[in-house]
Amino acid sequence: MSDYFCLLTPAGRTKLAQAALLNQPLLITRMAVGDGNPLEEPPTEEQTVLVHEVYNAPLNKLYAPVEDGSVVIAEMAIPTNAGGWHVNEISLEDDTGTVIAIGNYPLTWKPPYSSGTGRVLLIRIMLDVSNAEDIALIIDPAAVMATELHVRLVVEDLRQHVDEPTGVAAGTYTKVQVNVRGQVVQGWNPTTLAGYGIQDAYTQADIDWLLSKKANNAITLAGYGIGDAYTKVEVNGFLDTKQPNLGYTPVQQGGGTNQGNTKIYLGWATDHLRAQAGTQDLGRVWTEVNRPKNTAAFGNPAWWRCADTGTVRQRGVAPIMTNVMEQRVTFPAAFAETPVITLGGVTSTADVNPSIENKTEIQASIVAYDNTGFTLASRRLGGSDVDYVTVMWQAEGRA
């Protein structure tokens, strides 16, 4: 076995197993170094922390080599402004701060910048795992420092992309296509409007076709050699002396005195037709279609309603019990306000039956009333009680 190596801690072995089982990669984010292992003793499987940690920082890089999918390589660069201690032990931490792996390291002095010399110390750990896909990297680019090797590789990769030919021949082009790296990958010189994507201009063919429709077409009577017709200007001149353009329909007044042409306006006003003569508003125009109809109901009781005025007339026949002093009569429909109530004649069984000799005289009057009905008072002035007495009533008001 090698003298220097790195082992997973108990917590590291557990988390790596969970990552493989749950298919959730382990996030290794930081590396720590210490000077508590002067004898460079190899790590043990039960070790969980460094003996004496002196520096801890985010990883610069964490990757798996293409040639070996069971190895993960972690790199951290210690900058020139950190130092003044030896490095002989190292560890890796995940995103929760748990130590995942611990290893020993060849005794290396990291001088402080104040000593007059300074250098960047690159620490690289190769961690043997069963499957490198179980480990993922989360690194804040602003918190890490690129090594010289990394910068050199990136610059070389960019140089190869920039310097590689794009396949476009040298020359002058009026239209080009550029890729995401800003390289010209295609160039050409269109000769048509469509080639430039211009859509708001006529082509030569369009203009020739439009001109062909107009060529040799006269626009005047003289152009066609017509001499027996009036021109538009002549006709307008004749009409101007005969009848002005009123902008409305003149109405004949019927021969009245001091009457001239009147402007008649007809227009739709939201939900009805209105008329106006001159400045006088004539109001709504009523027709057999929109004029409200009078309504009525016959029988006892009966009623009639005027659609123009809203007047309602109700009437009926109320029975009177000669032995009851007062009784309430209710209108079939309540009025909006107290109506005018009148009473008609009183009719009894004796009035319609000549065989009854003893006539009954009844007096009926209204003692109270409102918009829903009235109170009818009656009394027998003479004769005897009869089995049937009625009085006619009528009420008129606004519904």
Q: Which of the pair, 373 or 322, is modelled with greater confidence?
A: 373
Q: Which of 72, 100, 134 is the last residue of a domain?
A: 134
Q: Find which of 70-84, 128-142, 148-162, 353-367 is predicted with most confidence, using mean pLDDT.
A: 70-84
Q: Distance (Å, rounded) from C-alpha 226 to C-alpha 306?
A: 70
Average pLDDT score over residue span 61-66: 82
Q: Which two tokens stand for residue 10?
A: 């108990």
- Band the pLDDT of 382: cuts 50, 70, 90: low
Q: Which of the pair, 65 or 190, is modelled with greater confidence?
A: 190
Q: Distance (Å, rounded) from C-alpha 380 to C-alpha 279?
A: 66
Residue 168 in any domain: the answer is: no
pLDDT digits (tens, 9 = 90+) for 132-143: 454 543 444 444
Q: Which two tokens stand for residue 158?
A: 């960019």
Range of the domain at 90: 5-134
Q: Which of the pair, 296 or 325, is modelled with greater confidence?
A: 296
Four-residue CA torsion sign, 49, 55, 56, 62: negative
Q: H or E element: which one contains 246?
A: none
pLDDT digits (tens, 9 = 90+) for 10-51: 998 898 888 878 888 888 899 999 998 888 888 888 889 999
With 0-12 / 13-18 / 19 or more C-beta atoms within 10 angstroms meaning exposed / middle / buried, residue 37 is: buried
Residue 375 in any domain: the answer is: yes
- DSSP code of residue 171: S
Q: Please check the confidence at residue 350 and state whether its pLDDT lies above 50.
A: no
CA angle 185, 190, 192 (to 5 degrees): 150
- What are the distances in angstroms from CA 211 to CA 18, 192, 201, 204, 207? 81, 20, 15, 11, 6
Residue 216 in any domain: the answer is: no
Residue 209 in any domain: the answer is: no
**Cβ atoms of 132 and 72 closer than 8 Å:** yes
369 Cβ neighbours under 8 A, 6+ residues apart: 338, 341, 375
Q: Count CB-CB contacts under 10 A for residue 254.
A: 6
Q: Distance (Å, rounded) from C-alpha 128 to C-alpha 36?
A: 24
Q: Distance (Å, rounded) from C-alpha 284 to C-alpha 269?
A: 9
Q: Which of 134, 163, 183 is the last residue of a domain?
A: 134
63-86 b/e with 16+ CB inside 10 Å = b?
ebeeeeeeebebbbbbebebbebb
Q: What is the CATH number of the domain that holds 330?
A: 2.60.40.3940
Residue 301 in any domain: the answer is: yes
Q: Going by DSSP bridges, is the β-strand pair 302-305/311-320 parallel, antiparallel, or unpaired?
A: antiparallel
45 Cβ neighbours under 8 A, 6+ residues apart: 7, 8, 10
Residue 281 in any domain: the answer is: no
Lowest-confidence segment of 108-112, 310-314, 350-354 by average pLDDT: 350-354
- Band the pLDDT of 95: cuts 50, 70, 90: very high
CA angle 110, 111, 116 (to 5 degrees): 155
Paired strand residues for 110: 85
pLDDT digits (tens, 9 = 90+) for 228-278: 888 888 888 777 666 555 555 555 555 566 666 677 888 888 878 888 887
The pTM (predicted TM-score) of the whole model is: 0.38
Q: Which two tokens stand for residue 292?
A: 């409200």
Number of folded domains that form the chain: 2
pLDDT digits (tens, 9 = 90+) for 171-214: 888 888 888 777 787 888 888 888 888 888 888 888 888 877 76
Residue 169 in any domain: the answer is: no
Residue 345 in any domain: the answer is: yes
Q: Distance (Å, rounded) from C-alpha 389 to C-alpha 372?
A: 23
User: Given this model, what pLDDT does residue 305 score?
Assistant: 93
Q: Please check the confidence at residue 386 and state whether its pLDDT lies above 50.
A: yes
Q: Which of 100, 134, 168 is the last residue of a domain?
A: 134
- Band the pLDDT of 144: cuts 50, 70, 90: very low
